[in-house]
Structure 1
Amino acid sequence: MAGVGVDEAMLNDLKNTAEQVAVEAAHLVRTAWVRMQSGGEVAVDTKSGETDVVTAVDRESEELVRARLKRIRPGEPVLGEEGGGAGNDAAGGVTWVVDPIDGTVNFLYGLPTFAVSIAAQVDGVSVAGAVVEPVSGRRWTAVRGGGSWLDGTRLSVSAADRLELALVGMGFAYGQDRRVRQGKLTADLIGRVRDIRRRGAASLDLCAVAAGWLDGYFEHGLHRWDWAAGALVAQEAGATVLLPGEAADLGEDATFAASPGIAAELRAALSAGGAAEV
């Protein structure tokens, strides 16, 4: 089970830590979400543009995660969506990669599809992670070489083997020009698959591939914290996973996950549709 120079005992310890801390952060996020459903307000700011939002709850969640990791795993760097950090990982050391709310727009609108995502990486490779959904309470976990689970039940990708019967998830960028190009790619793909879903939380789309709820998933422009835990969950469930920089024919910032039975066909369809130019 050892992977990237990490033994089995340490992998399980890292997974347990990721899960424990993600559950704590998810409780904080859920409390705020429930308060919002009752008319409470939350401070909102923007980042790259008006559609790219961050809430006070995102920041509070990340602050909680950083504080807990500092206590449990002192000295290990943290890369977080809101707080940054860990630009250069120490060789052979553990770096924690955190998305305090993946799906902030869903959270803000009251949609229950969002999650807290925490992964432990060594030399830039995810070795353990957890994705926890604050509203449903579902816990997705994985260790490299040891499998992935949903609430303790082992996960396995779908047996899909025909692209025309595949259910595929996709995501879109915040920038309008790129969204238009992505829309054209989606229009090209829609006639080749069963249907397309867009849920607005990359970590949960990757986990859905792991569970067989989606047969494939593709998105441009994800950051490390978007895929760090979810991609490991998908890969350990048997998915073919390609991360940013690994598939020039799909685009240098493409993330791809699919059941092996359709992976080659889906990749070819996306490439033929001009994914690399999106």
Structure 2
Amino acid sequence: MANDALISELYELTISIGVKAAELARGYREGGIEVAATKSSIADIVTEGDRETEQFIRRALAEARPDDGFLGEEFDPTPGTSGLTWVVDPVDGTVNYLYGIEACGVSIAVVEGDPTGDDWRALAGVVVDIFTGRIYSATEGRGAFCDGVPMHASRTTELPVTLIGTGFPYDPELREKQGRVLAKMLGITRDVRRIGAACIDLVMLASGRIDFYYDRTLNPWDYMAGVLIAREAGAVVRGPRGNEQPQHALLVGASPALLEKLQPQLEAWLAEEGLL
């Protein structure tokens, strides 16, 4: 198990590489980028900025921590022998990145255990806003910070004043179903913000800029750093039906009291649409 000194070392490394990666990604964007490939659909894209930024992060981590594993969005995973794995999304919010919308980030976390299952422990994480350079960070048990200033999640408990955040998948049929669920959610809450980058949604949850966040079909690189940051800011982030860890089927986050009120209703509406 990682000790305090190692966690501090990992934290500093996470921030150092995250800041440099964000600068690199921003430079690619300022130089002009194009779609390099599509993935699950024509709307699900990857740019050379994504690929080059992940390769930079891989090289930097391999030099600093050669025995650690690596799980990134753009390339095949690399197993390690240390028991630690780096979970990386080089550009979360690629469509925003392509269009120059200032809502995308570099997301880096280091975890003990298998990040693709339920038995993992996030030790340190950072989300760096690519356009603004703002640094959101956390280590286990030490709180969450934005540019060194402590962050605290919302304590809202009343549904009529709850601002929700969510995302949508690339599959049009699933979007239609989730749209019907969102319409019902809007009937009992204040409003919705749809940002287009899970890591940014999660740091907004951590900073109290949204009160409740839910999303589906996320992968570990989408949420790992953001989940740690949100939890360290005081939010509860979990999966469906009592799962302590987020699942591909559902991630939800809010204050404990708000989560107890709203998650059961959300899950019931998702189930009605065959989404859970």
Instruction: State if a TM-score over 0.5 links the two structures.
Output: yes
Q: AA paired with 1:119?
A: A
Per-residue deviation, residues 190-249 of structure 1 (Å, max 9, x unmatched): 11110011000001101111100010100000001001100000001110110478549x
Counterpart pick for 1:107 among 76, 80, 97: 97
**Residue 116 (structure 2) pairs with residue 98 (structure 1):** no
8 Å CA contact 2:219–2:248 kept in 1: the answer is no
Distance 1:191 1:247, change over 3 A: farther
Is the CA contact 2:68–2:80 (under 8 Å) kept in the aligned structure 1?
A: no
Give 1:269's match in structure 2, choosing from 265, 269, 275: 265
Counterpart residue number, 2:25:
29
Q: 1:152 aligns with which of 144, 148, 169?
A: 148
Q: 1:208 to 1:93 in 2, by over 3 A?
A: same
Give the conservation status (yes or no) of the 8 Å contact 1:245–1:253: no
Q: CA offsets, 1:253-275, max 9 Å, x none?
A: 21111122311112022023235
CA RMSD of aligned residues (A): 2.0
Letter in 2 for 1:159: R
8 Å Cα contact 1:206-1:230 kept in structure 2? yes
SS state at 2:77 partner: coil
Secondary structure of the structure 2 residue equivalent to 1:214: coil
Which of 211, 215, 219 aligns to 1:219? It is: 215
Output the CA distance in 2 between the equivalents of 1:130 and 1:274: 31
Aligned CA distance change for structure 1 residues 24 and 251 (closer, same or farther; 3 Å): closer
SS at match of 1:273: helix
Most deviating of 52-61 and 14-23: 14-23
Cα offset, 1:107, TM superposition? 0.5
Q: Secondary structure at the match of 1:122?
A: strand
Task: Look up the SS of the partner of 2:251 in the other structure.
Answer: strand
Of residues 37, 42, 50, the one that matches 1:45 is 37
> What secondary structure sits across from 1:21 in the alignment?
helix
Counterparts in 2 of 1:194 and 1:223: CA distance versus 1, 3 Å: same
- Give distance in 2, aligned partners of 1:26 and 1:267: 34
Deviates more, 1:196-205 or 1:92-101: 92-101
Deviation at 1:158, TM superposition (A): 1.2
Aligned length: 267
SS of the residue corresponding to residue 229 of structure 1 reads helix
Structure 2 CA distance for aligned equivalents of residues 243 and 227 of structure 1: 12
Residue in 1 aligned with 2:131?
A: 135
Is the contact made by 1:15 and 1:128 (CA closer than 8 Å) also made in structure 2?
yes
TM-score w.r.t. structure 1 length? 0.91
Question: In structure 1, the residue corresponding to 2:122 is in which secondary structure?
Answer: strand
Moved over 2 A (4+): 41-44, 243-248, 274-277
> In the alignment, is the contact (CA less than 8 A) between 1:245 and 1:254 conserved in 2?
no
Measure the CA separation in 2 of the matches of 1:220 and 1:271.
Answer: 11
Instruction: Provide Cα deviations, 1:162-206, integer angstroms capped at 9, x if missing partner.
Output: 011110100011111111111111011111110011000001101
Amino acid at match of 2:44: D
Within-5 A mapping of 1:1-278: 5-36=1-32, 41-86=33-78, 93-123=83-113, 124-243=120-239, 247=243, 253-275=249-271, 277-278=274-275
Letter in 1 for 2:261: E
Instruction: Report the more deviating stretch, 62-71 or 173-182.
Output: 173-182
Q: TM-score, normalised by structure 2?
A: 0.91
Deviations 1:18-47 (A, max 9, x none): 1111111100111122223xxxx4342101
3-state SS of paired residue (2:181): helix
